[in-house]
Amino acid sequence: MKFRGAEYRLGRLEYDRGRGECPDGTTGFLLHLHIPSGAPLSPASCDESLGQARRFYGRHFPDEPLSYVVCHSWLLDPQLIEYLPERSNIVRFLRRFALRPLTSGDEDLADGSMLEYVFGQPSRTGPVTARQLAELPQGTSLQRAYVAHLRSGRNWRARTGWIALPARPESD
């Protein structure tokens, strides 16, 4: 997508536009939000990025009225709230979203992708072994959460969530 010019980095976050399912079950124009690794997800940087995205897409794609930003990520797994402080950037990021309810058969396991983003190790499709867990660093609360959660026999999941965008004022 980046090579086609369809994905834009606006501040801390990246976006691409499309049509998709809205929380009410209708189909509409959405911004798909992507979270590049690197800088913290501070509330101020996320607010600024969302504002830039709204203005940018409103200016360049005025015939596609956006009503929601949608994201699918392990960063939206509410199980993170069990381990991380309420004031952590990750928890505050997660709380921005209304999550799509899980249905039977929702098994989008994210153990492997978290291994890649949290520890910089290659993503895995199979289970992370006890030996691998023992070798992982635990210098951050997120690293400790990852290890403790898997040791307890549970898995991390990628979840889908939406952020409603307010109607664009005429002055934008």
pLDDT band at 169 (very low <50, low <70, confident <90, very high): low
Q: What share of the chain is helix, strand, coil (3-state, %, to 5)?
A: 35, 25, 45
The structure tokens listed for 146 are 């990852």
pLDDT, residue 2, reads 44
55 phi and psi, to 5 degrees? -70, -45
The stretch 98-125 carries a mean pLDDT of 86
- Euclidean distance between CA atoms 77 and 99, whole angstroms: 9
Phi-psi region of 110 (alpha: psi -120 to 50; beta: other; left: phi over 0): alpha
Nearest to 80 by CA among 5, 7, 1, 144: 144
Nearest to 142 by CA among 112, 110, 117, 109: 117
Using alpha carbons only, give the angle 29, 35, 36 rounded to the nearest 5 degrees. 130
The stretch 32-56 carries a mean pLDDT of 94
Q: Is the pLDDT of residue 151 over 50?
A: yes
The stretch 131-141 carries a mean pLDDT of 94
pLDDT, residue 127, reads 84
Domain coordinates in residue numbering, the chain: 7-164
Query: CB burial class (10 A; 0-12, 13-18, 19+) of residue 52?
Result: middle
pLDDT, residue 38, reads 82
pLDDT, residue 168, reads 59
pLDDT tens for 11-27 read 999 999 999 988 988 89
SS3 67: strand
Fold classification of 7-164 is Aminopeptidase (3.40.630)
Average pLDDT across the chain, whole number = 90
